[in-house]
Amino acid sequence: MSRFLVIMLFLLLCLGALGVVWAVTNLEQQAEREFGPADPSLSFFRRLSYSVQLVWNWSRVTQPFDLSGQPRSFEIQQGETASLIAQKLAQEGFIADARLFEIYLLYAGLDTRLQAGDYKLSASSNMIEIAHALQDATPLEVPFVILSGWRLEEIATTLPTSGLSVSPDEFLRLSGNPDLLGLPAGLTDWSGLVSLEGFLLPDVYRVRRDITAEALFELILSNFDAKVTPEMRLAFEKQGLTLKQAVTLASIVQREAVVVEEQPVIAAVFLNRLNAGMLLQSDPTVQYALGYNRDKETWWTNPLSAEQLQVQSPYNTYLYPGLPPGPICNPSLSALQAVANPQNDSRYYYFRASCDGSGRHSFASTYEEHLANACQ
């Protein structure tokens, strides 16, 4: 074998190794963004294995098994293992997949902190919420989870099974009238908002069961103020966006992107379209305008019909230019960061779902390229 071939083989091996390292690092970062930090005691291979399975099954972990489920009793007896508890939860109809639930417990290090006792659980809670609820049979504090991409009504529906004393009606009344809250001034001027849609940063909040609605909103908005840094706000300004406009765009990016790493590219597409005076033509804005679909029992109607795309609403970006009047959901920190730091060298103006079912998108600079990306 010639020296040239040996060198080329070595370079290919190095590039392959770098690609593997990048993929592993990106996967672990995505798992941490979506599910929180992994248990530091896990070995590298266990952490990687759990991260892969959780990211691959993101919707099954984060979506409730039964949205109409009512609170029911569930008992953990002394000495029961995490595996047995997961099997009981599946058998009794609280979760869809016992092994996936156990994997989340192991990933988060919650498997060793499950406590014996009687619990009130509901299948309308997702696996993350149930896992945290099982940490203490009679906790003074409970985890209140806001998932990325939820609109206000979706957050409100989790309150009856959250363990908090705040009612859905009170939550929606105050979130739609921020001036009633009397929130202290911080980085954000909350008094200028007509709704808190978009500003309830997705996270796991540890709160007392008897917390008031006012205190709950102050906690969540303080988290937004702390994590949406002055540097991010300056980056929004450089994009020509006010804070509300940036949050609005981030909410669209959140609903459009399935893969987190595509968020900066999708943000760049919409910024390019705004700067070119093009319609955004984003399906999630129409879904928001349509509201709750009783037939499909979802706030996010998919697919949309040609008639639905013509719904008369300022949120319909197929009909009205520019950004909609406000956010359409509560975007994650990563979506907000994508708007602050979009892919600067992007010349894309179009994107559509890839044909391989991966959740990724095919991007195009021209409409002709966009048409060529259609699935055959």
pLDDT value for 14: 45
Helix and strand numbers, DSSP H then E, in the chain: 15, 6
Portion of the chain with pLDDT greater than 70, in percent: 93
Q: Which of 30 and 250 is assigned the larger pLDDT?
A: 250
Mean pLDDT of 221-238: 96
Statement: residue 356 has pLDDT above 60: yes
- Residues carrying CATH 3.30.1490.480, the chain: 31-138
Residue 22 CB-density burial (10 A; 0-12 exposed, 13-18 middle, 19+ buried): exposed
pLDDT value for 78: 77
* Angle, helix 82-91 to helix 98-108, in steps of 10 degrees: 140
* Angle, helix 243-256 to helix 283-290, in steps of 10 degrees: 100
Virtual CA dihedral for 114, 118, 119, 123, nearest 10 degrees? 100
Q: Are 200 and 178 in contact (CB under 8 A)?
A: no
Q: Are 151 and 104 in contact (CB under 8 A)?
A: no
The third-level CATH classification (topology) of the domain covering 31-138 is Dna Ligase; domain 1 (3.30.1490)
Statement: residue 258 has pLDDT above 80: yes
pLDDT value for 355: 86
Statement: residue 19 has pLDDT above 50: no
pLDDT value for 93: 95
pLDDT value for 246: 98
Measured distance CA(9)–CA(358) in Å, rounded: 31
Q: Which of 7 and 128 is assigned the larger pLDDT?
A: 128
* Strand ranges (E), the chain: 72-76, 117-121, 141-146, 203-208, 350-353, 361-364
Confidence band of 17 (pLDDT split at 50, 70, 90): very low
Per-residue pLDDT tens digits for 32-87: 888 888 888 989 888 888 988 888 898 899 899 999 999 888 988 878 899 999 99
Mean pLDDT of 206-225: 93
Q: Would you list the DSSP string of 304-350?
A: PPTTGGG---TT-TTTS-SS-SS-SS---HHHHHHHHS--TT----E
Q: Which residue has the tokens 């966009």?
A: 370
Confidence band of 5 (pLDDT split at 50, 70, 90): low
Q: Which of 223 and 3 is assigned the larger pLDDT?
A: 223
Strand pairing class (350-353; 361-364): antiparallel
Cβ of 69: how many Cβ atoms within 10 Å?
Answer: 16
Statement: residue 7 has pLDDT above 60: no
pLDDT value for 187: 86
Statement: residue 301 has pLDDT above 50: yes
CA-based nearest residue to 323, from 228, 259, 243, 262 = 243
Statement: residue 12 has pLDDT above 80: no
Measured distance CA(351)–CA(283) in Å, rounded: 12
Q: Is 238 left (phi over 0), alpha (psi -120 to 50) or beta?
A: alpha
Per-residue pLDDT tens digits for 94-144: 999 999 999 999 999 999 888 888 788 999 999 999 999 998 776 667 889
Radius of gyration of the chain (CA): 22
